[in-house]
Amino acid sequence: MQLYNKLSANERAILIEKAGNRRITLSFYKYHQIKNTSLFRDHLYLMWEKLDVLGRIYIASEGINAQLSMPSQNLNEFKTKLDSIDFLKEIRLNVAVEQDDFSFLKLKVKIRNKIVADGLSENSFDLSNNGTHVNASEFNTLIENPNTLLVDMRNHYESEIGHFDGAILPDVDSFRESLPIIEKKFAKHKKSKNIVMYCTGGIRCEKASAFLKHKGYEKVYQLDGGIIEYARQVDQEKINNKFLGKNFVFDHRRSEAVSDEIIANCHQCGEKCDTHINCANEACHLLFIQCEKCAKEFNNCCSEECYKINSLSLEDQKILRKGKKNSNKIFKKGRSDALKFKKTSS
C-alpha cells in the first residue's frame, strides 16, 4: 500500500496543470475522541489518495483538522466518503472564498498530540461546553453592542493583514500564548460583558470558548465557521461586511480577500501592502510582508544579509546552513529587527 507521496511538489503541479481540472479548496474540523489514530490516518490516506485529494490534515486523539483541495468533480464522492464515518457525517465544509488549483501540492495526513496546540494538560476542561455559536448576521448584531468585547483568536501575522473592525488583537506568536493572556485580561468582565471571539475557520474558538467557560466566563460567543464562513454568508446573503482586509490562510495562497481595504504595510519600506512571502534565503525562510518594489530590490529576501546569502551559489549556501536548524524558535513569523515597518497589535 502507498501511504506516502511519491511525487515532489513540482511534479504534482505539472500533473495538475496537464489535467486541466478545476480544483476546490476547503477545510473542516471536528473534536472527537479517536482511539486508534494510526489506523484512522491510514484509512483516510488510502481513501483520499484515490480521489486526488491534496492537503494538510492533522489527526489526534482529540479529533481532526483538515485543510485540502480536490478536483471539483470529486466533491460529491468526497462528501459521501465523509458521511460513511459516523462522527464526520454531514459535517460542514468551509469552502475557500478564492480558489487556486495549486493551493496544495501534496497529501499529508499527520498524527499529532493535539489538532490545536494549546499548551494545556490533557482533558483539563470539557471541550463540549463551549461558547454559543453565532452566524454572520448574529455576529454583526453582537459586535455592535457596546457591552461586547470582540477578540481575535489568531496570531499577529494573521490579524495584521485583516481583522474585524474594533477587534482586540493580541500580539502573540501562537494560540497557546493567547489563552492565558485573554483569560487574565478580561477577568473582571467574566459575568458582565459579552466575550465574542473569532478565528479563521472556527477550530481555535471551539477550544478557547470552552477554556473561558471553564474559567467562569458566562457570556461567551464564537463566530460559527470563522472568517471563511462569515465571508461566504456576507457574499450570498448580502450581509454588511465588517471585516477589513484579507483572511490569512495556511496554504500556498497565504490569504484571500474578504474586503477591498489594504490595512497592512510592507515591512521593509512602509508602503501599503498585504502580501506575505517567505524569505528566499532558505536558511531564514522568514514570513513577512513585502511589496513588489522591495521584492525586486531585495530579490525576495527580508534583509541585506539574506540578499547577500541568497546571491551565493547553492553549494556555498548549503555550507553556511550546515549544522544549523531552521525553526520558529529562531525565525519567528514576522519577527525580525531587519523589518523596520513591522506593526505590533494592540
122: pLDDT strictly greater than 70:
no
Average of pLDDT values for 172-199? 93
Q: Which of 199, 284, 302, 306 is catalytic?
A: 199
Average pLDDT of the residues of the chain: 90
**For residue 173, what is its C-alpha cell?**
506568536
Cell of 328: 520558529
Least trusted range by pLDDT, from 47-51, 116-120, 304-308, 311-315: 116-120
3-state percent breakdown (helix, strand, coil) of the chain, nearest 5: 30, 20, 50
Entry pTM: 0.86
Domain ranges of the chain: 9-111
Nearest to 320 by CA among 279, 288, 284, 278: 284
Whole-number percent of the chain with pLDDT over 70: 93
pLDDT of residue 330 exceeding 50: no
Query: Rounded to whole angstroms, how far apart are CA atoms 186 and 46?
Result: 46
The CA-to-CA distance between both ends of the chain, in Å, stands at 51
Span of 79-93, 96-110, 137-151, 154-168 with lowest mean pLDDT? 96-110
- Per-residue confidence (pLDDT) for residue 332, from 0 to 100: 64
| Gyration radius of the chain over CA positions | 21
Residue 306 appears among annotated catalytic residues: no
Calpha distance 276→166 (Å, rounded): 23
CATH number of 9-111: 3.30.70.100
